[in-house]
Amino acid sequence: MKRVFSGIQPTGHLTLGNYLGAMRRWAEVDQHRADALFCVVDLHALTVEHDPARVRRLSRQAATLLLASGLDPEACTLFVQSHVDEHARLSYLLECVATDGEMRRMIQYKEKAAKEAARGRSVRVSLLTYPVLMAADILAYGTDEVPVGEDQAQHVELARDLAVRFNQRYGSTFTVPRATFPKVAARVMNLQEPTSKMGKSDESGLGVVYLLDETDVVRKKVLRAVTDSGRDVVYDRVERPGVANLLDVLAACTGGDPEVLSGEYDSYGALKKDTAEAVVEVLRPVQERHRELVADPGAVDEVLRAGAERARAMARPTVDAAYRAIGLLPAL
Ligand code: ATP
Ligand code: MG
């Protein structure tokens, strides 16, 4: 059976982009067809200025929302990254095969470093090395496939490169993983700024739909989405990014095809209205299950405890093998 791994950072409230780009597929497809692990990657949330209490709160909320979106602890392993020491242990070894140049070329590093600087904050070393820790997350589990949104393509590519390089230098140790992307909505854009990705740690405003937004807030955000000049509804991600984004979201929520859907509308207003309703319908069951789960935090804790135990047992042999291969004296 294939091994699948993916993660989500507790850097903010989870968004429609996270759901359509990643979480929904984990629940509907990946956990049933593979030996799958899903992780709240809390160490990654420390790479930008953070409030400790908020990160703790968001970690629990992310785990709860993952369960609400349909992850079944009987079908997959759900855990918190910092509960499994192997991630940090392996990350250091991979820092010893990754290069400074590789890190500085990462698009996300450049974007997030610029944002931190614009907010008058210094850039943490961990923001630069983040992709190495992410490679460790993936490689520790002998992962074959990493289901992610399009924005993570470059990071998964780096994980592949590091696996190949380590194997060549120190002997075959890691499975070489590959990324998988959803067919539609692999990159949901900010509704107010349709040339930028919708991100949970962005200044939110009206551009970001959160999974826990009230129904009327969701409607308002979609109805006020920025559209393009012109009136006809065509699917063109470059020339008409605003309309294309709405078509992508509508297609992802209804199981349709954005190109085909574009032929069914002759006004932006009707497109927005249907998209708003489609998003509301997709979020409704997730919000309902979330309400039930928050009433029973002990159950979520137990899932995370058992998940960490299973994950630890899976990661340890690979990480121990990497320690031996790279030249470290085994502890007695
Ligand atoms: P941050 O702004 O803190 O980076 P994020 O919203 O990008 O948060 P991540 O935790 O970095 O979320 O990513 C979790 C998963 O969600 C990844 O698989 C990522 O590719 C996917 N994802 C994030 N944003 C989008 C988006 N706008 N469209 C599609 N997928 C997305
Ligand atoms: Mg991100």
pLDDT of 80-123, one tens digit each?
999 999 999 999 999 999 999 999 999 999 999 999 999 999 99
Q: How confident is the model at residue 205 (pLDDT cuts 50, 70, 90)?
A: confident
Q: Is 276 in the pocket of ligand 1 (CB under 6 A)?
A: no
Segment (H or E) for 251: helix 241-254
**Under CATH, to which class is 3-181+297-326 assigned?**
alpha beta
Is beta strand 178-180 parallel, antiparallel or unpaired with respect to 145-147? parallel
CA gap 187, 196 in Å, rounded = 9
Spacing, Cα 180 to ligand 1 middle (Å): 14
Instruction: List the CATH code of the domain at 189-292.
Output: 1.10.240.10
**pLDDT in the model for residue 170:** 98
Q: Is 11 within any annotated ligand binding site?
A: yes
**pLDDT in the model for residue 64:** 98
Spacing, Cα 17 to ligand 2 middle (Å): 10
Q: Is 262 in the pocket of ligand 1 (CB under 6 A)?
A: no
**pLDDT in the model for residue 332:** 81
Spacing, Cα 94 to ligand 2 middle (Å): 21
Task: Find the mean pLDDT for residues 289-308.
Answer: 96
Residue among 306, 271, 322, 330 at smallest CA distance from 139:
322
Q: What percent of the chain has pLDDT over 90?
A: 96
Segment (H or E) for 310: helix 297-326
What letter represents residue 305's amino acid? Answer: R
CA gap 207, 202 in Å, rounded = 9
Q: Is 218 within any annotated ligand binding site?
A: no
Residues annotated as catalytic are: 112, 197, 200
C-alpha pair distances (Å), 244 with each of 189, 240, 252? 9, 6, 12
CA gap 14, 208 in Å, rounded = 10
Summarised one tens digit per residue, pLDDT across range 174-203 is: 999 999 999 999 999 999 999 999 999 887
For residue 252, pLDDT over 90 is answered with yes
At which residue do the structure tokens 């918190």 appear? 80
**C-beta separation of 208 from 218 below 8 A:** no
Q: Is 149 in the pocket of ligand 1 (CB under 6 A)?
A: yes
CA 327 to chain centroid = 34
Q: Is 167 in the pocket of ligand 1 (CB under 6 A)?
A: no
CA dihedral 266→235→69→197, nearest 10 degrees, is -120
Substitution candidate for ligand 1 out of 151, 202, 248 with most atoms within 8 A of CB: 151
Spacing, Cα 100 to ligand 2 middle (Å): 21
For residue 204, pLDDT over 80 is answered with no
Q: How confident is the model at residue 18 (pLDDT cuts 50, 70, 90)?
A: very high
**pLDDT in the model for residue 41:** 98
ipTM score here? 0.99
CA gap 88, 132 in Å, rounded = 10
Q: Is 137 within any annotated ligand binding site?
A: yes
Q: Is 17 within any annotated ligand binding site?
A: yes
CA gap 58, 50 in Å, rounded = 11
Is beta strand 193-197 parallel, antiparallel or unpaired with respect to 189-190? antiparallel
**pLDDT in the model for residue 254:** 97
Q: How confident is the model at residue 4 (pLDDT cuts 50, 70, 90)?
A: very high
**pLDDT in the model for residue 140:** 98
**Residues spanned by CATH 3.40.50.620 within the chain?**
3-181+297-326
Helix (H, G, I), strand (E, B) or coil at 210: strand
Spacing, Cα 17 to ligand 1 middle (Å): 6
Give the atom of ligand 1 at the shortest distance from the alpha carbon of 147. 18
How many C-beta neighbours within 10 Å does residue 92 have?
A: 13
Task: Find the mean pLDDT for residues 154-160.
Answer: 98
Summarised one tens digit per residue, pLDDT across range 19-74 is: 999 999 999 999 999 999 999 999 999 999 999 999 999 999 999 999 999 999 99
Q: What percent of the chain has pLDDT over 70?
A: 100
**Residues spanned by CATH 1.10.240.10 within the chain?**
189-292
Give the atom of ligand 1 at the shortest distance from the alpha carbon of 48. 3
For residue 128, pLDDT over 90 is answered with yes
**pLDDT in the model for residue 36:** 98
Q: Is 207 in the pocket of ligand 1 (CB under 6 A)?
A: no
**C-beta separation of 19 from 211 below 8 A:** yes
Q: How confident is the model at residue 231 (pLDDT cuts 50, 70, 90)?
A: confident
Give the atom of ligand 1 at the shortest distance from the alpha carbon of 198. 27
Helix (H, G, I), strand (E, B) or coil at 15: strand
Q: Is 201 in the pocket of ligand 1 (CB under 6 A)?
A: yes
Q: Is 221 within any annotated ligand binding site?
A: no
Q: Is 190 in the pocket of ligand 1 (CB under 6 A)?
A: no
